[in-house]
Amino acid sequence: MPKQSTRKTALVTGANSGMGLATTVELLKKDYHVVMLCRNEHRGEEALQKAKQESRRDHVDLMLCDLGSLESIRQFADRFNRRFLKLDALINNAGVVTTKRTTTTDGFEGMLGINHLGHFLLTNLLLNTIKRSKDGRIVTVSSGAHKVGKIHFEDPHLKKRFNVIRGYSQSKLANILFTVQLDERLEGTNVKANSVHPGAVSTSLGVSRESGFGKTIHAMLRPFFLTPAEGADTAVYLATAPDLTISGEYFYKRKVEPHSKRAQDQELAEKLWHWSEKEVGI
């Protein structure tokens, strides 16, 4: 049986930069033991040192996982569940925006594959460990872009009609529908699941790592954006607030935010859940 300290434990996906790193730092300051889930070892190690420096805490670990690979997610979940007795907060923060159609290792359209399906599988594989917490929290970062989103069941991986808005908004709507259905399935447990709109945050999201495309535009707009720490505030609040009683909702600036009719559609949420189970092989 794994051993664990008396500290609460949090797992943050996409923790190597932007809101993920800011979330890590804030959780460390609140005395959580934080596991930083990152895809790239070099960038992850740099972020780990930065998190320690900014928080002046060292109860933080780096674990590697590629959310674009079902096999990598399963291997990670197995390692995590063997190592930790319980998980108090899972922050599904990692996200990608691609202007050209990309695919994951398993052939999923990149944004749907990583932003939704990767987190869907990860959450399900860690669920029993989260349920061992006296007050488990699952926070999934969505976006206001969900309001123009639609789940394209006829072509979910956008093989025929891809564009960035169509793909990104679909993945962000999926984040909320996932939370809605997850909340239904968690009824009677100690776990609360909510989604969050972080606002317009200055991060590297949308900047191509390969070509650098988007850097100039991002630099020009940066003064008008929230900082990563400001964007992370509501996610940290939902993960840690001791008096939180709300579950299954969509938050912005620590308050429940109205969301689209599609995002509130229970039948659509259930349909997406069953489709997602088949896609990831649960």
With a CB cutoff of 8 Å and minimum separation 6, the contacts of 267 are: none
Task: Name the CA dihedral angle for 51, 56, 58, 63, rounded to a multiple of 10 degrees.
Answer: -10
Q: Which strands sit side by side in the sheet containing 137-141, from one edge to the other?
A: 60-64, 33-38, 9-13, 89-92, 137-141, 192-196, 250-252, 255-256
> Which residue pairs from 160-165 have beta carbons closer than 8 angstroms and sit at least 24 positions apart in sequence?
162/101, 162/109, 164/97, 164/98, 164/99
With a CB cutoff of 8 Å and minimum separation 6, the contacts of 172 are: 115, 142, 143, 145, 146, 149
Residue 57's SS3 state is coil
Residue 30's SS3 state is coil
Q: Which of 32, 168, 237, 252 is catalytic?
A: 168
Q: Alpha-carbon distance 160 to 144, whole Å?
A: 25
DSSP assignment letter at 187: T
Q: Alpha-carbon distance 140 to 193, whole Å?
A: 8
What DSSP element (H or E) covers 89? Answer: strand 89-92
What DSSP element (H or E) covers 194? Answer: strand 192-196
DSSP assignment letter at 227: P
Q: Respond yes or no: is residue 32 known to be catalytic.
A: no
Residue 27 identity (one-letter amino acid) = L
* Catalytic residue IDs: 168
